[in-house]
Amino acid sequence: MHSLFTTAALLAPLVAAQIQGHCDPADAVQPNPIGKMNKYKNYKTTGTVNGTVAILPIKLTAARGIIPAQYPILEEQYRAWLPSLAADEYPALLQMEQNHDLYHNGVAAGPSADFNRASISFPFVDRLNDGYSSFLYNQAVIISSAATDTIAQFQTYGGIVAPGFTASCNAYEYENGTANLALPPAQRGIDQAAWANTNTDLSNPSIAYRFDPTASSPYSTDFWRNVTNQPLFSSASNGKCDAVTRLPATKVSKGAFAGVHLEGEVAILKAFYPVKGKTVWSDVFGYKVDQAYFEKPQAKCATLKGFSVVEAPA
C-alpha cells in the first residue's frame, strides 16, 4: 500500500480536471429499491448511500474537548463493541459517501439531487442525558456545492462547507483509475479526497484516504450498522436531529455488492479534527457498502430516545 503522502502526489495531477461541486457520477449506480414503496412514502427522504466509513482512534480526552461538555460520552457502550480499543482511546467516525436516487415522500427528485458528503462525527454521545441513547455529534460536513437543498437542511444542524471531491461524485475510486460505485469489489485499492472551500490546495485535501480490502477486521457488520444509524446533531440549543435509518438487507447490499471490510490510511486537516496541522492515521479499519435508507430530518431529538438499532454483544 502506498502512503497517503504518495497518494496525494498521485492524485494531484488528476484533481484539477475532476474536482467539482456538481454531482455527476462517472458510472451508473444502483437505483433506490424503496423509493416507490408505500411503507416509505411518508418519509421526507429515501435513497441509497454508497461509500466508505471508518473508525479513527483518537484520544478520549480529545473527544471530550470537542463534544459539548453537557453531554456525557457513553464509554461503556463503545467499549462493549470495541474491546480492542486502548483504554485512553475513543472511536471517531469518518464518512465519505454518495447519496443517490433520492425520493421525497415517494416522488423521485431526479439525478440533480445526488450529492457527496464527507465528515468526521463523534458517536456514542448521550445527547438526552438518559445514560443510554446514543447520538452522533458533528461539527462540520462537506457537501457537494450544487446540492443547495441538502446544504440548507444541514445548515440547521451545524457547520457547512461547500467542497470539491475526487473522483467527482463517486463515493470511492479504485486504484487502477476505474470509478464505478456498483462494481463488485474485485479491484485493489480505493482512494477518495475532499476539499473544503476554505482549503483549495489541490495537493493537500481536507480529508483523504487510501484503503485496500482486508480479510479480517476488529469491527463487525453489526457495529457498523449501529454506529452509522445513530441520530446526528450539531447544535446544542435547537433540539433538532437528523434521523437516518440505513437498511442492511436490500438488494443493493447483497451478492456482488455486499459490504467489504477495509484497512488503510487517513489524513485530515484541522477544520475536521481540531488539532494543529494535519493528522494522519495508519492501520485504520473501515467498511464500504451501498445501502438503502430513509430519513426523518428535523426530528426532535427527544423523540429518538432509546436508540438501539443493534445491541452490542454481551
Q: How far apart are CA 309 and CA 149, in angstroms?
A: 28
Q: What pLDDT does 270 receive?
A: 75
CB atoms within 10 A of CB 226: 22
Is residue 106 in some structural domain? yes
Tell whether 311 is covered by a domain. Answer: no
Q: What is the mean pLDDT of each run of 10 residues along the chain (314 residues)?
A: 43 38 54 94 91 94 94 96 96 92 93 86 95 91 76 68 63 42 47 77 82 90 95 84 93 85 88 75 92 91 81 62
- CATH code of the domain in which 84 resides: 2.40.400
- Please indicate, yes or no, if residue 312 is contained in any of the structural domains: no
Number of domains in the chain: 1
The H or E element that residue 118 is part of is strand 115-125
Buried b (16+ CB within 10 A) or exposed e, 6-30: ebbeebbeebeebbbbebebeeebb
Please check whether residue 279 lies inside any domain of the structure.
Answer: yes
User: CA angle at residue 169 from 164 to 171, to 5 degrees?
Assistant: 105
Which domain range does residue 251 map to?
Answer: 4-304
In a domain, 313, yes or no: no
- Using a 10 angstrom Cβ sphere, with 0-12 exposed, 13-18 middle and 19 or more buried, the burial of residue 233 is buried
Residue 32 lies in a domain: yes
Beta bridge partners of 99: 49, 115
309 lies in some domain: no
pLDDT given at position 238? 81
Residue 310 included in any domain: no
**What is the end-to-end Cα distance of the chain in Å, rounded?**
36
